[in-house]
Structure 1
């Protein structure tokens, strides 16, 4: 599949490029629209947007392009097809083709940004909003973004993950004796089987990438389109994999709760990025 060119916001003038933050938009949005909406939000004090807090960061927003969306019975901007907006586990077979294509596309974007940073993969932050976050998570767990080393962090906004029940089953949430390394290996194998791909990297490389990775998850408690339950389930899963989770819940986000809460959530995102990875 051919994807539109990512929307790029370079570091501010007179600043050397030190880190890249790659964020995937949600369904129904585009890279440029998502960037504009996100950068319009400001922190509390000082009242600055994200680029102003991080002037040396290069922001990369991949674009999903248009595809058929069964739930709406029309072409829309989406990373993969979904059958139901209220039960994301229904007809998961419809999600597979998009996931297969997307994780390979994310792999290429991450590789290019690592090259721009002189091979410093730890200076890459990956994440996304809603369906974009789902795609980014699959890129992590299949190893699509681990071929050059560990990434710096993951940022999930209104996050959920396709095949979450499969993931919980293979990870063995109810088996405390299971080793984290084996859990990661089993999850990678299961997800690669679902999309019908060979491994991008070894299981050991995926384990190194995920081990102790800082993760921020933010979700509105009353999110109507994507229930906060998804974020809670995801938090349990990621902790079982040994990732360091900072999960926050908010009240009063616009768009029926399916967006970023200003300014509290922006404050938390900035605190996370500055505290966990030294931005």
Structure 2
């Protein structure tokens, strides 16, 4: 499949503050934004250690006193991962990130916290948004408004028996909608090429590359991470995010037909590939060229990629249920994800969430 990615502008690149260059972190903005608006605001936002306490917890879901909810560190049920779980252990002020914060004083920026990282902020292509009466807007893919899609679901992420028939019909229509597909095809191909370029620059170290984003950027980057076929990446991080086709992927993963030799992860990723008309590539990286031998076992690198999601409970643009649906979908694929919720968080890259992202990356990346 020939996918045109010529419409993407050169990304905003912030070189490492200190040498050597050890990591590259690719972060995608939300719908309607751009790299120059999103990148510097994120990269140079003051982060105060005393506010976040640099504390990452799993467990019961209670407040830790600073507005952060101790949500689940989901643990995959795949027995192959049982002895090598990527679920984060509790970290305290003895963590490397916390020590770095305290050495620098009362506040620090994302760039200062990860001084050996190059930061790349791409800008989405300007596309006509169907939900906005055809107005052109920077977006990684087109999609319908999220709130109506959520209306037919209850708070826990399961179908609500009290939903109206019209709401359910709307949800089912959008659940199977093809609107996001063309944009996602372009975006995933573009991101895969960008990832491969950065791996090459790091001497072939895929573990030094992180991908993630905010809102729609979180959604697009997660799809790209699921479809990546090179070596496992260093991490994926999402803030105020969601995922297109999450329910279809989860249903495929949980469809354990007796004659199907594939794992839940293979079934789910194959479903996503079929939706987007992406095929396995023989080179092991990127996307877009077909491999006629569809029966061969293909490496799925996200199985060994650390995953982190942050979401505010007061988010009215991408309601928290969408983040929980992503978590449920990834768990059905037997993937581990550290999922954090913030009691006072809105639709934003909050200070608390960014502190937790820093701590997560300090723990997962090689330094």
Same fold (TM over 0.5): yes
How far residue 116 of structure 1 moved from its aligned partner, in angstroms, is: 0.5
Report Cα offsets for 1:8-52 as digits up to 9, x if no partner.
Answer: 01001x421000111111101101211022124222134111001
Match of 1:139 in 2: 224
Unaligned ranges ≥5, structure 1 = none
Structure 1 Cα separation of the partners of residues 180 and 37 of structure 2: 23
Distance change in 2, residues 1:181/1:231 (3 Å): farther
How far residue 180 of structure 1 moved from its aligned partner, in angstroms, is: 11
How far residue 181 of structure 1 moved from its aligned partner, in angstroms, is: 6.2
Structure 2 Cα separation of the partners of residues 53 and 81 of structure 1: 34
1:204 is aligned to 2:294: no
Q: Is the 8 A contact 2:140 2:184 kept in 1?
A: yes
How many pairs align? 267
Match of 1:101 in 2: 186
Match of 1:260 in 2: 349
Structural mapping, 1:198-237, within 5 Å:
198-200=279-281, 201=284, 203-206=297-300, 209-237=301-329
Structure 2 Cα separation of the partners of residues 240 and 76 of structure 1: 34
Equivalent residue in structure 1 for 2:358, among 270, 275, 278: 270
Q: In structure 2, the residue corresponding to 1:71 is in which secondary structure?
A: helix
Equivalent residue in structure 1 for 2:254, among 165, 172, 190: 172
1:240 is aligned to 2:332: yes
Q: In structure 2, the residue corresponding to 1:87 is in which secondary structure?
A: helix
1:185 is aligned to 2:266: yes
Structure 1 Cα separation of the partners of residues 218 and 341 of structure 2: 16
Q: In structure 1, the residue corresponding to 2:108 is in which secondary structure?
A: coil
Structure 2 Cα separation of the partners of residues 215 and 58 of structure 1: 20
Answer 1 or 2: higher relative contact order, Cα 8 Å, separation at least 6. 2
Match of 2:13 in 1: 8
How far residue 199 of structure 1 moved from its aligned partner, in angstroms, is: 1.6
Structure 1 Cα separation of the partners of residues 328 and 14 of structure 2: 34
Structure 1 Cα separation of the partners of residues 13 and 297 of structure 2: 32
Q: Is the 8 A contact 2:47 2:108 kept in 1?
A: yes
Give the alignment's TM-score, normalised by structure 1: 0.89
Structure 2 Cα separation of the partners of residues 203 and 152 of structure 1: 23
Give the alignment's TM-score, normalised by structure 2: 0.68
Report Cα offsets for 1:88-146 as digits up to 9, x if no partner.
Answer: 5627211111011111011110010001100000111111111111111111222xx32
Aligned CA-pair RMSD: 2.2
How far residue 203 of structure 1 moved from its aligned partner, in angstroms, is: 4.9
Q: Is the 8 A contact 1:41 1:266 kept in 2?
A: no
Structure 2 Cα separation of the partners of residues 44 and 181 of structure 1: 46
1:154 is aligned to 2:239: no
Distance change in 2, residues 1:180/1:60 (3 Å): farther
Q: In structure 2, the residue corresponding to 1:205 is in which secondary structure?
A: coil
Structure 2 Cα separation of the partners of residues 192 and 117 of structure 1: 28
How far residue 240 of structure 1 moved from its aligned partner, in angstroms, is: 3.0
